[in-house]
Amino acid sequence: MEKPYAIGIDIGGTNTVFGVVDKRGHIIAQGSIKTAAHKEINEYVTNLSSALQEVIDQVGGADNIKGIGVGAPNGNFFTGCIEFAPNLPWKGLIPLAQMLSDRIKVPVSLTNDANAAAIGEMTYGAARGMKDFIVITLGTGVGSGIVVNGQLVYGHDGFAGELGHTTIRRTNGRLCGCGRKGCLETYTSATGVARTAKEFLTSRKDESILRNVNIDEITSKDVAEAAQQGDTLAKEIFEYTGQILGEAFADFVAFSSPEAIILFGGLTKAGSLIFNPVKRHMEESMLPIFRNKVKLLMSELKESDAAVLGASALGWEVKEF
Amino acid sequence: MEKPYAIGIDIGGTNTVFGVVDKRGHIIAQGSIKTAAHKEINEYVTNLSSALQEVIDQVGGADNIKGIGVGAPNGNFFTGCIEFAPNLPWKGLIPLAQMLSDRIKVPVSLTNDANAAAIGEMTYGAARGMKDFIVITLGTGVGSGIVVNGQLVYGHDGFAGELGHTTIRRTNGRLCGCGRKGCLETYTSATGVARTAKEFLTSRKDESILRNVNIDEITSKDVAEAAQQGDTLAKEIFEYTGQILGEAFADFVAFSSPEAIILFGGLTKAGSLIFNPVKRHMEESMLPIFRNKVKLLMSELKESDAAVLGASALGWEVKEF
């Protein structure tokens, strides 16, 4: 009999969230533990395994679980390791997939969070039925999951799809956390939007609701709220962000000619404020043969469940022991 | 019995060259006709078919031919059509694969020339055994063929891999034949190198062997010859070209994390003049996790045979009738 459930685990810097998911993308049982509270990886895996066992028991035991998918920062699909993740408590190479499958006795696959989002869109979301698409995650950073011929693009080393670190400004580019300058994510992540707000407010003199906020604490949410109230400067911040994203997307299209680019993550809450300028600049910037052919879509995965669903989608694809 | 031969056809603006190729990449019989002499497509296909029949007869007839692969500008693998190719005599949509297989009674696959080069490298050349690589063709334009998971990336519409039209200069970029500005090929094609020479010679005052050539007739070959003689300005032209290519390659790596990038086409005759600066700037520009992992290689296909071999490699993969 085909096993009816997969488990998705999303490992974030603060929390680890997991759920048992059925084939239609419904979360049947769920739980979470604190990631940051576990400075030692063995202790973390022990506590995670106990918490997982509880939800597994709720659905009739491990025999009902096809596989476990894990989305984690710097997760490498090929090795099953978390590799040198700057925002997690454990340093170096962590063979998490192996450690977890040793305890739960269910096959475990691991990838990074953006790849998990892409598989989630393909399995349950906006990319159902598509064989060629790109998911762009707009959160604290900018990540990407790329699907070509119905398969996730991992590259020869498992690290493909770092589109947040393509260089979008080659002169006077913003300094990126990666040590280079001008990376896409320095402009178009939630953090990038806040940086733009700071720049605009410092270099310009025009009035703005945003001048009521402490300039060092402005968030992309503040900018979105101001723009929704009609604030001109705030709207221009989104126009600026959307232009840079749209120009970058035109280059991504020249690479893999996807059927769709799907936006995912916190910044998409700004809705049409970000969607419209991205769409307009993407079309304007594209090579003529690609114009009016590539869909720009918002993720269809429910925000609070998306990370778990995405990871669980990987659980359906694990190879049996 | 497995059929021992495939046919490769390379359709260029001036000549159409073809050959019968065995599994080891040896050209057993070959021929050519003038492309430009045939203003009418039916007449072209008739004459091409007659010429093909001669080489087919030399190897024992069509029963010995597995398939025919065609590399043509704007060739679409999915439709088998040449679509609106600006440098060919026939306008609009030309269903060449169908027309040819109707006459020769052998399955025909068609793609663009850069994709044919990529399949050629995978089948007979520098990419044998690789599943993830990118071929960059540096000729009159800049083309690309991208392989991911062992499969050529066609995208949802057959037009993926237009890396020559990614935007490498977003301010004051050179005008491209596609109507946009700052495309990679305006800087790093053979034509782009000639444009750089013209710019450098006009804006600078230093001595150069290139000042002996009529400035409007300078070619990339002139620049390579001057650089080989130690000419400083000519060497700086290759440094400039290599920097732009290397920076672009760093972004391509962030997309698909290939095992290798393979250089192909006329400009590669400049050898280390172009190879060294590309390699240096690619490494300097890459995200740290990719450094010292991606091979930069020169094509191993013999220049004069490369186009036919590349197209023939597609012939091995045709689906039977």
Amino acid, res. B90: W
Query: Residue A120 has which token pair?
Result: 């989630």
Averaged pLDDT of chain A: 94
Question: CB contact, 8 Å: A151 with chain B?
Answer: yes
Which residues, 6+ apart, have CB-to-CB distance to A41 below 8 Å? A90, A94, A96, A99
**Beta strands per DSSP E along chain A:** 5-11, 15-22, 27-34, 65-71, 75-76, 81-83, 93-94, 108-111, 133-138, 142-148, 151-152, 260-264, 295-298
pLDDT score at B321: 44
pLDDT score at B320: 54
Decide if B170 and A166 are in contact by the 8 Å CB cutoff. no
Give dist(CA A232, CA A64) in Å, integer: 55
ipTM for this model: 0.92
Helix B220-228 to helix B190-203 angle (10° resolution) is 70
Query: Residue A129 has which token pair?
Result: 């039925």
Q: Which of B84, B112, B144, B166 to mutate to test the interface with A (most CBs of A within 10 A)?
A: B166
Domain with CATH 3.30.420.40 in chain B: 5-121+304-317, 129-300
pLDDT score at A303: 67
- Identify the segments of chain B with pLDDT beneath 70: 303, 319-321
Of A173, A161, A111, the residue nearest A137 (C-alpha): A161
Which residues, 6+ apart, have CB-to-CB distance to B74 below 8 Å? B82, B83, B84, B85, B86, B88, B112
Q: Looking at beta carbons, which residues of chain B come within 8 Å of A254?
A: 161-163, 165-166
Segment (H or E) for B29: strand B27-34
Question: CB contact, 8 Å: B283 with chain A?
Answer: no
Q: Looking at beta carbons, which residues of chain B come within 8 Å of A285?
A: 167, 180
Question: Quick one: fold of B5-121+304-317?
Answer: Nucleotidyltransferase; domain 5 (3.30.420)
Q: Looking at beta carbons, which residues of chain A come within 8 Å of B155?
A: 132, 148, 256-258
Give the phi and the psi of residue A138 in degrees, each rounded to 5. -110, 90
Question: CB contact, 8 Å: B178 with chain A?
Answer: yes
Question: Given a cut of 60, is residue A321 above it in pLDDT?
Answer: no
Question: Given a cut of 90, is residue A298 above it in pLDDT?
Answer: yes
Which residues, 6+ apart, have CB-to-CB distance to B39 below 8 Å? B89, B90
**Mean pLDDT to the nearest integer, A179-191:** 96
pLDDT score at A301: 85
Of B95, B112, B126, the residue nearest B162 (C-alpha): B112
Poorest-pLDDT segment among A163-172, A303-312, B77-86, B249-258: A303-312
Decide if B146 and A287 are in contact by the 8 Å CB cutoff. no
Strand partners, B135: B145, B262
Give dist(CA B158, CA B16) in Å, integer: 23
**Mean pLDDT to the nearest integer, A273-277:** 97
Question: CB contact, 8 Å: A79 with chain B?
Answer: no
Distance from CA of B114 to the nearest CA of A (A): 13
Question: CB contact, 8 Å: A275 with chain B?
Answer: no
Tally Cβ neighbours within 10 Å of residue A122. 24
Which residues, 6+ apart, have CB-to-CB distance to A272 below 8 Å? none
pLDDT score at B197: 98
Distance from CA of B8 to the nearest CA of A (A): 25
Q: How much helix, strand and coil, in percent to the nearest 5, is found in chain B?
A: 45, 20, 35
**Mean pLDDT to the nearest integer, A11-24:** 93
Distance from CA of A27 to the nearest CA of B (A): 32
Three-class secondary structure of residue B303 per DSSP = helix
Query: Residue A122 has which token pair?
Result: 């393909």
Q: Which residue has the tokens 């698409």?
A: A133
Query: Residue B290 has which token pair?
Result: 């990719």
CB A257 within 8 A of CB A130: no
Quote the Cα angle for A121-A123-A124, to 5°: 70
Distance from CA of A286 to the nearest CA of B (A): 9
Q: Where are the alpha helices (DSSP H) in chain B?
A: 41-58, 96-104, 113-124, 185-188, 190-203, 220-228, 232-256, 272-285, 303-315
Amino acid, res. A27: I
Amino acid, res. A92: G
Which residues, 6+ apart, have CB-to-CB distance to B257 below 8 Å? A153, A154, A155, A156, A157, A158, A159, A160, A161, A162, B132, B290, B294
| Contacting B residues, span 111-140, partner chain A, CB-CB under 8 Å | 130-132
Give dist(CA B30, CA B43) in Å, integer: 21
Tell me how many residue pairs between chain A and chain B have CB atoms under 8 A apart: 132
Distance from CA of A230 to the nearest CA of B (A): 30
CATH H superfamily, domain A129-300 = ATPase, nucleotide binding domain (3.30.420.40)
Query: Residue B199 has which token pair?
Result: 């710019």
Give the phi and the psi of residue B147 in degrees, each rounded to 5. -115, 130
CB A237 within 8 A of CB A273: no
Query: Residue B192 has which token pair?
Result: 């782009």
**Mean pLDDT to the nearest integer, A236-255:** 98
Q: Is B102 left (phi over 0), alpha (psi -120 to 50) or beta?
A: alpha
**Mean pLDDT to the nearest integer, A118-129:** 92
The dihedral over CA atoms of A249, A251, A252, A257, expressed in degrees to the nearest 10, equals 110
Distance from CA of B117 to the nearest CA of A (A): 16
pLDDT score at B300: 84
**Mean pLDDT to the nearest integer, A56-73:** 95
DSSP A91: -
Decide if A165 and B252 are in contact by the 8 Å CB cutoff. no
The dihedral over CA atoms of B283, B289, B293, B299, expressed in degrees to the nearest 10, equals -60
